Chain A
Amino acid sequence: MPETAPIAVAMSGGVDSSTVAALLVREGRAAVGFTMQLWNQRRLPQLTGDGVGRCCSLDDVYDARFVAERIGIPYYVVNFEDRFEEKVVKPFVEQYLAGRTPIPCTLCNNFVKFDQFVELADSLGARQIATGHYARVEQDPRTGRYRLLRGRDEAKDQTYFLFGLTQEQLSRTLFPIGHLTKPEVRKLAGDLDIPVAAKHDSQEICFVPNGDYAAFLDAYLAEQGIPRETTRGEIVTVDGRAIGEHQGVHRFTVGQRKGLGIAAPEPLYVIATEPAAQRVIVGPDRDLLRSRLRASGVNWVSWAGLSAPVRARVKIRNKHVPAWATLHPTGDPAAADVHFDEPQRAVTPGQAAVFYDGDAVAGGGWIG
């Protein structure tokens, strides 16, 4: 083991994590850089993408290695493909087939980046890990609990994807750029002479080229030799009238308007999908509104739990502006009933409901 306890930095080759590594070096920390190889991009060759903005591409590894060399830290690429497929890709596919709209980034954070990576760090004598997420961690001096706070840059805040972190995981994590805005990070990267300071931001789901998740699903299932049951089905209105056909419920998500291929007097949206019956239910915008949801599998973060109804703001998708609601206990400590003050549009099964207490993530769970 090295003389000083190292800190393991997750490096994607992008500007954020590169800046994190450089900042730690500037502070005199014994940083060790790692890139997690999560998915083999050559695996589904029919999904030809341009490779831009995808994870684990050789270009990103090249960039991360170059940054590590520039700032003078040891650097390794570690193969986490097995865990990623088991804990992220398979559930992603299963959820879509079950008519839900999953968030693989959260699963990746819970089970890979803050789990297998922490394990690896541990095994190398690193008590702490650092990542380039836009979020902050603070310990509450009164309760000793670790609080997860929104990143200072509202537009880049990533706490929606981090609500599943346990107290143990938070206690060991540093988000060194959480108090900065993206422009500040770019400027800092330039000042630190980081070669990727001007690199574009990554987009979309890292293992799905061009955001075409339906094509990914088809290619993955074909590779696994899993025959698809009939995917064609009916498009029906909320009052039960069949008004068209579709090519598979997994191609639709709640709130979607495009791709229905139906002419109607008023714009139609997907209200729900029923995978068992292969039905897609559509209706006008007002039918998308819901004033209640139940969050299950709740992980409590800044709060220890819920013993009485409490006010909070609740975010139901990454780009959603958190809406005021009252959280009600359900008897199950890992669930909460959310009653919104105003009905919310497109409450989507499979997405997360994340509860905010000011800037702090109180907790969050999955929309059933």
Chain B
Amino acid sequence: MQRFYFDHNATAPVCPEAREALLPCLADVYGNASSIHHFGQLAKQRLEQARRGVAALLGCGPKEIVFTSGGTESNNLALLGALRPCGGRHVITTAIEHPAVLNTCAQIEREGGAVTYVPVGADGVVDPDAIRRALRPETRLISVMHANNELGTVQPVGDIAGIAREAGILFHSDGVQAAGRLAPPDTDLYAVSGHKLGALKGVGALRVRQGTPLANIQFGGHHERERRPGTENVPGAVSFGAAAGWAHAHRDAEAERLATLRDLLEEGVLARVPHARVNGDRSRRLPNTTNIRFDYVEGEAMVIGLDLAGFAVSSGAACSSGAVEPSHVLTAIGLSPRDARSAVRFSLGRDNDEAQVRALIDAVTNVATHLRRISAEAPAHA
């Protein structure tokens, strides 16, 4: 069976540039980047080259890039590093953040800190004034994601950065979904993940603006300018640098191409499947993402039906067993549990083309029609 991948917000295939850059790291470049000798220096050179690639993508200096194990660690480092010791300190975030942020905030609360979770509207975008109103004298940090992973909605991080600057506090943004797809915002802290861009899994980065006070959350050697101990993951970083290089060079053109394909998909599905609606604001979105709910259909069944037909899409977040969990993002934008369960996320990437999108529209139409025929609730004309 021919299979097509439309789940790039979950992860992306390793891109050819990353694959090529990696090869030496799997052969001759095996040194420990902290070693003094030739082998170490060779690894260190590759590592720093990769750092420059990531820095260019994020619009910052290479010295501001801390390599980590991925987006989750980057978010942990940003939040805990900025807040600790948490007692008596306050952080503002939103209700639609990724668990990497929400559960780190829960830890901050366990450590005696206070957290405000600012709600979002039905459009899936947070209101900067609501962030401003949540400020307290003890607020240390604002953390608002750049783009939401489920809806793709882009948050007003520019305005929020201004609010933080005025208040004299730090601003962190989870840029895991936005990096490489949107221009980098001007933040003190910015978390990114390699594999979403076509690098290996297991590598990420945190941009730490020079001069930003940040406590360590792991303890060991002097790596990453004392910010993150542990032998450097040179192959991971190298793949990240290469993937970032491609994303940086092609960002605007690729964004335009993906938006065209995404709009084609969305219009095709909405035209052919009755009772289908787009979740979240359609104008302020990542170019590659659409989240559509199909009344009278279980999103989980849709995902399985499409998978059996050869199309990979997603519905909500997977819990530890692999079953779909109800989405906190969709409930936060006001959907009923039932409507939230009927949502499916399509996220496009570099390998998708128009023929694949047209095939996907056909498959979605078929599966939705079949599921509706089964559903006891569906009206006869659905």
Known: A1-B370, A79-B300. A124 touches B323 (CB 8 A): no
Chain A CB within 8 A of B301 CB: yes
Known: A120-B301, A125-B370. A58 touches B320 (CB 8 A): yes
Stretch binding the partner chain, chosen from A70-78, A133-141, A344-352? A70-78
Rounded to whole angstroms, the CA-CA distance of A122 and B367 in the bound complex is: 12
Rounded to whole angstroms, the CA-CA distance of A101 and B370 in the bound complex is: 40
Nearest residue (CB) in B for A65 is: B322
B222 to chain A, nearest CB (A): 38
Does B304 lie within 8 Å of A79, measured CB to CB? Answer: no
Stretch binding the partner chain, chosen from B13-21, B84-92, B151-159, B305-313? B305-313
| 16 other A-B residue contacts (CB within 8 Å) besides A37-B323, A79-B300 | A1-B366, A2-B1, A32-B308, A35-B321, A37-B321, A65-B322, A74-B307, A78-B300, A78-B304, A78-B323, A79-B319, A79-B325, A82-B337, A123-B371, A124-B301, A124-B308
Does A77 lie within 8 Å of B323, measured CB to CB? Answer: yes
Q: When each residue 318-336 of chain B gets 1 if its CB lies under 8 Å from chain A and 0 otherwise, what string results?
A: 0111111100000000000
User: Which residues in A have their C-beta under 8 angstroms from that of B183?
Assistant: none
Chain B CB within 8 A of A56 CB: yes
Chain A CB within 8 A of B359 CB: no
Chain B CB within 8 A of A193 CB: no
Q: When each residue 265-307 of chain B gets 1 if its CB lies under 8 Å from chain A and 0 otherwise, what string results?
A: 0000000000000000000000000000000001011001101
Chain B CB within 8 A of A6 CB: yes
Q: When each residue 110-145 of chain A gets 1 if its CB lies under 8 Å from chain B and 0 otherwise, what string results?
A: 000000000110111100000000000000000000
Interface residues of A (CB under 8 A from B): 1-2, 6, 32, 35, 37, 56, 58, 61, 65, 74, 76-79, 81-82, 119-120, 122-125
Does A76 lie within 8 Å of B374, measured CB to CB? Answer: no
Output the residue of B300, B320, B322, B374 with the most chain A CB within 10 A: B322
B284 to chain A, nearest CB (A): 31
User: Which residues in B have their C-beta under 8 angstroms from that of A32?
Assistant: 308
A108 to chain B, nearest CB (A): 16
Output the residue of B321, B366, B375 with the most chain A CB within 10 A: B321
Interface residues of B in 84-119 (CB under 8 A from A): none
Known: A1-B366, A123-B374. A76 touches B309 (CB 8 A): no
Rounded to whole angstroms, the CA-CA distance of A81 and B319 in the bound complex is: 12
Nearest residue (CB) in B for A30 is: B308
Rounded to whole angstroms, the CA-CA distance of A56 and B319 in the bound complex is: 12
Rounded to whole angstroms, the CA-CA distance of A72 and B45 in the bound complex is: 44
Does A123 lie within 8 Å of B305, measured CB to CB? Answer: yes
User: Which residues in A have their C-beta under 8 angstroms from that of B370?
Assistant: 1, 123, 125
Does B323 lie within 8 Å of A79, measured CB to CB? Answer: yes
User: Which residues in B have their C-beta under 8 angstroms from that of A58?
Assistant: 320-321
User: Which residues in B have their C-beta under 8 angstroms from that of A2?
Assistant: 1, 308-309
Nearest residue (CB) in B for A6 is: B308
User: Which residues in B have their C-beta under 8 angstroms from that of A76?
Assistant: 304, 307, 322
Interface residues of B in 123-160 (CB under 8 A from A): none
B304 to chain A, nearest CB (A): 5
Known: A78-B300, A120-B301. A56 touches B321 (CB 8 A): yes
Interface residues of B (CB under 8 A from A): 1, 298, 300-301, 304-305, 307-309, 319-325, 337, 366-367, 370-371, 374-375
User: Which residues in A have their C-beta under 8 angstroms from that of B371?
Assistant: 123
Rounded to whole angstroms, the CA-CA distance of A312 and B366 in the bound complex is: 49
Does A79 lie within 8 Å of B309, measured CB to CB? Answer: no
Rounded to whole angstroms, the CA-CA distance of A115 and B12 in the bound complex is: 37
Contact of A122 among B319, B320, B374 (CB under 8 A): B374
Rounded to whole angstroms, the CA-CA distance of A133 and B289 in the bound complex is: 43
Please name 7 pairs of A and B residues whose Cβ atoms are closer than 8 Å in the assembled complex, sorted by A: A1-B366, A76-B304, A76-B307, A122-B374, A124-B308, A125-B305, A125-B308
B306 to chain A, nearest CB (A): 10
Known: A78-B304, A124-B308. A119 touches B374 (CB 8 A): yes
Known: A78-B300, A79-B300, A123-B371. A1 touches B305 (CB 8 A): yes
A280 to chain B, nearest CB (A): 40
B78 to chain A, nearest CB (A): 27
Rounded to whole angstroms, the CA-CA distance of A56 and B323 in the bound complex is: 10
B239 to chain A, nearest CB (A): 27
Output the residue of A37, A58, A65, A82 with the most chain B CB within 10 A: A37
Rounded to whole angstroms, the CA-CA distance of A174 and B322 in the bound complex is: 26
User: Which residues in A have their C-beta under 8 angstroms from that of B337?
Assistant: 82
Contact of B309 among A1, A56, A81 (CB under 8 A): A1
Does B321 lie within 8 Å of A123, measured CB to CB? Answer: no
Rounded to whole angstroms, the CA-CA distance of A35 and B324 in the bound complex is: 12
B332 to chain A, nearest CB (A): 19
Rounded to whole angstroms, the CA-CA distance of A342 and B186 in the bound complex is: 85
User: Which residues in B have their C-beta under 8 angstroms from that of A77?
Assistant: 321-323
Does A124 lie within 8 Å of B305, measured CB to CB? Answer: yes
6 tightest CB-CB pairs across the interface, nearest first? A37-B323, A79-B323, A77-B322, A77-B323, A123-B374, A61-B321
User: Which residues in A have their C-beta under 8 angstroms from that of B325?
Assistant: 79
Nearest residue (CB) in B for A60 is: B321
